[in-house]
Structure 1
Amino acid sequence: MLTVLKIGGSLAEHPAILRQLCQEFSALAKEYRILIIPGGGEFADIARKLYKNYGFSNIVAHKMGILSMDQFGLFLSDIVVNSFVTYSLEEIRKSAKGKVPIFLPSTSMFREDPLEKSWDVTSDSIAAYIANLLQAQKLLLVTDVDGIFYEDPKKKLDAKLIEELSAQELLSWN
């Protein structure tokens, strides 16, 4: 059974929390098969800023976003004990308990990427796509946001937390 942990890049802004989480991921790997897929974090923020300032194509922006995931993944590989970076889905399929593969998606996604080339496709979307390809039993999104909200709680302090959400309800959202 494989569990995919997508680690939000924004967690890098909280060093103590991220280090603690990385220790916990290493401990979990002793008993469970896990895979880490990194977010883009500050690296993706730079790509967004350049996109806004220069207006280059969505294809280039999408690829820069994917490369930002690779950069954050390399960073994570240095703080997750017993981790290794991989570009290979096959290597992930063969991985055993005890080691923590960190998937750097650029090679795989540049070869075959059926996803829309826009900022609507995020590292969360890519993690879900990869989890599906690997037939993972679970996908956990580890972020600095405490759940799913109707509105961005960082922008609107009284944003309401969604207590429960079915897949059907989620799919019905625009």
Structure 2
Amino acid sequence: MWVVKIGGSLSHDPALREWLTQLWEVGGGRVVIVPGGGDFADTVRQYQREWRFNDVAAHNMCLLAMAQYAILMQGVLPELVLASNEQRIRRALRDGRVAVWVPTELMRVTPDPMTNWDTTSDSLAAWLSATLNAERLMVVKSCAVDAGTPLEALASNGVIDPRFLSYVKEANYVVELFNKSDVALMRDRLLNMPVV
């Protein structure tokens, strides 16, 4: 199983439809998509600055932002299956479908290591990859990502969030970052993925 995190920066980009279509065509039964927060999460930042509510509230609102992007994805490609927990994700994969994670079960009442702005959907995708015992985490960004760039450099440049490194430090899955134009490369990787 592969987890593919699609950045919120693609939410207004025609490349989004191509990524979703290709993942659906070649990833059925093997792919879980994690949506970013995009504009929806940016709006949470604005409201927090205005109303000065705590990071737990902001975290919960950002999970809903990711849920909105997930619903947008399914709206673009109705064959995708929205799944809010591991059981539903695994059921969708058993049915040969592609799941889109709706992370509302991570909503919190009290602060924990996830409830801060250093932990974004990138880190949540890494957390989900570990939870699902995924083989690979592919993170799709709209910015240029040079193959082989160390994750530390990407974190210091703000391409991935600061907590991402701690989530993947001891990962038993492969971590790769892709540019939005790398859809053919992703398709090739999936087509050559051994079926387990």
Instruction: State the TM-score bracket (shorter-chain normalisation).
Output: 0.7 to 0.9
Q: CA deviation at 1:167?
A: 5.1
2:54 corresponding residue in structure 1: 57
Instruction: State the Cα distance separating 1:22 from its structure 2 match.
Output: 1.3
Shift of 1:135: 0.5
The Cα of 1:47 is off from its aligned counterpart by 0.2
Question: Deviation of residue 13 (structure 1)?
Answer: 2.1
Displacement after TM superposition at 1:81 (Å)? 5.0
Contact 2:66 2:103 (C-alpha < 8 Å) held by counterparts: yes
Partner residue of 1:45? 42
Q: What residue in structure 2 maps to residue 138 of structure 1? A: 136
How many residue pairs get aligned? The number is 152
Q: What is residue 3 of structure 2 aligned with on the other side? A: 4
- Which residue, out of 61, 64, 67, partners 1:67? 64
Match of 1:96 in 2: 94
- Distance (Å, rounded) in 1 between the aligned partners of 2:125 and 2:158: 21
Check whether the contact 2:6–2:33 (CA below 8 A) recurs between aligned residues.
Answer: yes
Question: Could you tell me which residue of structure 1 aligns to residue 114 of structure 2?
Answer: 116
Checking the alignment, whether the CA contact within 8 Å between 2:41 and 2:65 is kept in structure 1 is yes
Cα deviation for residue 139 of structure 1 reads 0.7
Residues 59 and 107 of structure 2 are in contact (CA less than 8 Å); yes or no, is this contact kept in structure 1? no
Q: Among 80, 84, 104, which residue is 2:77 paired with?
A: 80
CA deviations 1:73-103 (Å, max 9, x no partner) are 0000122352111112112123236311111
User: Is the CA contact (8 Å cut-off) linking 1:6 and 1:139 kept in structure 2?
Assistant: yes
Q: TM-score, normalised by structure 2?
A: 0.70
Q: 1:19: how far off?
A: 1.1
Q: Give unmatched runs, 5+ long, in structure 2.
A: 160-167, 171-196
Residues 114/34 of structure 1: CA separation in 2 closer, same or farther (3 Å cut): farther
Q: Secondary structure in 1 aligned to 2:32?
A: strand
AA at the equivalent of 2:64:
L
Gaps of 5+ in 1: 154-165, 169-174
How much is the aligned-residue C-alpha RMSD, in angstroms? 2.4
Question: What code does the residue aligned with 1:133 have?
Answer: T
Give the secondary structure class of the aligned counterpart of 1:145.
coil
Identical amino acids, percent of aligned pairs: 29
Amino acid at match of 1:151: N
1:20 partnered with 2:18: yes
Q: In structure 1, what is the Cα distance between the partners aligned to 2:158 and 2:117?
A: 16
Rounded to whole Å, the distance in 2 between the matches of 1:114 and 1:140 is 26
Distance in 2 of aligned mates of 1:56 and 1:70: 21
